[in-house]
Amino acid sequence: MSNSESENLLRLEAVSRHYVQGDQVVCALEDVSFTAGRGEFIAVAGPSGSGKTTLLNVCAGLDHPTAGKVWLGNRDLSGLNRHQLAKLRLEEVGFIFQAFNLIPVLSAEENAEFILLLRGVPNRERRSKVRALLKEVGLEGLERRRPGQLSGGQQQRVAVARAIAAEPKLVLADEPTANLDTDTALSLLNLMERLNREHGTTFLFSTHDPRVMQRAHRIIRLLDGRIESDQKLAVPQS
């Protein structure tokens, strides 16, 4: 790698992702290259169908490039098997899905602590951390409710809490504020900014939301699966 692991957490090299639909080949991503350093706060913007969700899935190893390579730290994801990729995601990556992907039979608290449970965090520490986090995202008093008893916005907050509870090195967030009112969205963005600032967590958002783009330190714009622009912005001083 041209840069050390301490400088670059994520690197994409000429990544393309093509799908076959019927008798057509759809180019979801085409020759995408960029690096994300530790502690960056990046928004990936673009119209629907521009490749934002595919890009995040490829970065997480949930989808595989047709061509090119994805590196997380010093690891080439194409060289890892399914078990190794799952272990890498468990230890280093938080993912906020647009469809929430909560476990229906678990409560909000149990969903939020699920990654910590898999990591072997002791019960008392796990519960204490998750309850404080759910309070911070505005879900105090709803900890015992299952996803079916929560609104879309409340489910999104549980998904955010689950993704950041273990303080991963990288958080990939697919439209994380899409179902939230302004106050809740700003509260979550404040929380993510704090994790970014205090723990050096790298955030990569796909978004249409100007509230997210206003907080970003960098905006990568996609159009038809290609990077149209990559703009670094002034980082607000705390």
3-state SS of 20-82? EECCEEEEEEEEEEEEEECCCEEEEECCCCCCHHHHHHHHCCCCCCCEEEEEECCEEHHHCCH
User: Which H helix or E strand runs over 112?
Assistant: helix 108-112
Q: What is the pLDDT of residue 2?
A: 40
Q: What is the pLDDT of residue 23?
A: 87
Q: What is the pLDDT of residue 234?
A: 74
Q: What is the pLDDT of residue 10?
A: 96
Q: What is the pLDDT of residue 99?
A: 81
What are the backbone angles phi and psi of residue 47, rounded to the nearest 5°? Answer: -65, 165
Residues of the chain with pLDDT under 70: 1-7, 235-238
Question: Among 84, 95, 223, 73, which Cα is nearest to 162's?
Answer: 95
Handedness of CA 62, 68, 71, 77 (dihedral sign): positive
C-alpha pair distances (Å), 68 with each of 2, 170, 223: 16, 21, 19
Work out the percent of the chain whose per-residue pLDDT is above 90.
64
Q: What is the pLDDT of residue 6?
A: 45
Q: What is the pLDDT of residue 236?
A: 59
Domains in the chain with CATH codes: 8-72+81-232 (3.40.50.300)
Question: Among 14, 68, 3, which Cα is nearest to 227's?
Answer: 14
Q: What is the pLDDT of residue 237?
A: 54
